[in-house]
Structure 1
Amino acid sequence: MKTAAPKMTTTRLKAGMTGWLFISIAVIMIAAFYFYPMIQALILSFKTGTGSNLTFNGIDNYKRLFTDSMFITAVKNTFIYLIFQVPLMVILALFISVLLNDKNLKFKGFFRTAIFLPCITSLVAYSVVFKYLFSADGLVNSLLLNLHVIGTPIQWITDPFWAKVTIIIAITWRWTGYNMIFYLSGLQNIDSSIYEAARIDGASPIRQFFSITVPLLKPIILFTSITSTIGTLQLFDEIMNITKGGPGNATSSISQYIYNLSFKYSSDFGYAATVSYSIVIMIIILSIIQFKVAGEKK
Structure 2
Amino acid sequence: METANKPKMTEKKKTALAALLFISPFFLLYAVFGLFPMLFSFYLSFFRWDGLTPMTFTGWRNFELIFTDPVFYSAIKNTFIIGIMGTLPQIVVGILLAFALNSTLLKFRNTFRTAIFLPYITSIVAVAIIFGVIFNNQPFGFANYFLGLFDIDPIRWNQEYWPVKIAIATMVFWRWVGYNTIIFLAGMQSIPKELYEAAKIDGATVAQQIRLITLPMLKPIVMFVVFTATIGSFQLFTEPLIFLGRGLREEGISVVAYLWRDAFVYNSFGTASASAIVLFLIIISMTAINLLITNRLGRSKKVS
Structure 1 residue 196 displacement after superposition: 2.6
Could you tell which deviates more after superposition, 91-100 or 212-221?
Answer: 212-221
Structure 1 residue 149 displacement after superposition: 2.0
Does residue 51 in structure 1 map to residue 54 in structure 2? no
Q: CA RMSD in A?
A: 2.3
Query: Which one of 141, 144, 158 corresponds to residue 144 of structure 2?
Result: 141
For 1:76, the equivalent position in structure 2 comes to 77
Q: Distance in 1 between matches of 2:289 and 2:205?
A: 33
- For each residue in 1:68-101, what CA deviation from the matched residue of structure 2 results, as whole angstroms up to 9, or x when unmatched? 2121111111111122221111221111111111
Structure 1 residue 122 displacement after superposition: 1.2
For 1:40, the equivalent position in structure 2 comes to 40
Aligned pairs for 1:152-167 (under 5 A) are 152-167=153-168
CA contact (8 A) 1:48 1:54 kept: yes
For 1:233, the equivalent position in structure 2 comes to 234
Matching residue's letter, 2:142: L
CA contact (8 A) 1:101 1:184 kept: yes
Q: Distance in 2 between matches of 1:96 and 1:189?
A: 16
Q: Distance in 2 between matches of 1:283 and 1:273?
A: 15
Structure 1 residue 20 displacement after superposition: 1.3
Matching residue's letter, 1:240: L
* CA pair 233-24 structure 1, distance change in 2 beyond 3 A: same
Aligned residues: 289
CA contact (8 A) 1:157 1:163 kept: yes
For 1:222, the equivalent position in structure 2 comes to 223
* CA pair 211-112 structure 1, distance change in 2 beyond 3 A: same
Could you tell which deviates more after superposition, 61-70 or 92-101?
Answer: 61-70
* CA pair 30-143 structure 1, distance change in 2 beyond 3 A: same
CA contact (8 A) 1:54 1:270 kept: no
Structure 1 residue 275 displacement after superposition: 0.6
Aligned pairs for 1:1-298 (under 5 A) are 10-52=10-52, 53-135=54-136, 136=138, 137-145=140-148, 148-244=149-245, 248-265=249-266, 267-294=267-294, 295=296
Matching residue's letter, 1:26: F
Q: Distance in 1 between matches of 2:261 and 2:248?
A: 16
* Identical-pair percentage: 37
Could you tell which deviates more after superposition, 24-33 or 238-247?
Answer: 238-247
Unaligned 5+ runs, structure 1: 1-5
* CA pair 296-62 structure 1, distance change in 2 beyond 3 A: farther
Normalised by the size of structure 2, how large is the TM-score? 0.87
Aligned-partner SS, 1:151: coil
Structure 1 residue 126 displacement after superposition: 1.6
For 2:4, the equivalent position in structure 1 comes to none
CA contact (8 A) 2:157 2:167 kept: yes
Structure 1 residue 283 displacement after superposition: 1.1
For 1:3, the equivalent position in structure 2 comes to none
Structure 1 residue 182 displacement after superposition: 0.6
Matching residue's letter, 1:16: A
Q: Distance in 2 between matches of 1:262 and 1:200?
A: 62
Matching residue's letter, 2:259: I
Aligned-partner SS, 2:55: strand
Q: Distance in 1 between matches of 2:83 and 2:93?
A: 15
CA contact (8 A) 1:48 1:57 kept: yes
* CA pair 245-282 structure 1, distance change in 2 beyond 3 A: farther
Q: Distance in 1 between matches of 2:162 and 2:192?
A: 45
Matching residue's letter, 2:222: I
* CA pair 241-247 structure 1, distance change in 2 beyond 3 A: closer
CA contact (8 A) 1:46 1:57 kept: yes
Unaligned 5+ runs, structure 2: 1-6, 300-304
Could you tell which deviates more after superposition, 125-134 or 53-62?
Answer: 53-62
For 2:3, the equivalent position in structure 1 comes to none
Aligned-partner SS, 2:104: coil
Structure 1 residue 200 displacement after superposition: 4.2
Aligned-partner SS, 2:56: strand
Structure 1 residue 150 displacement after superposition: 3.1
Aligned-partner SS, 2:251: coil
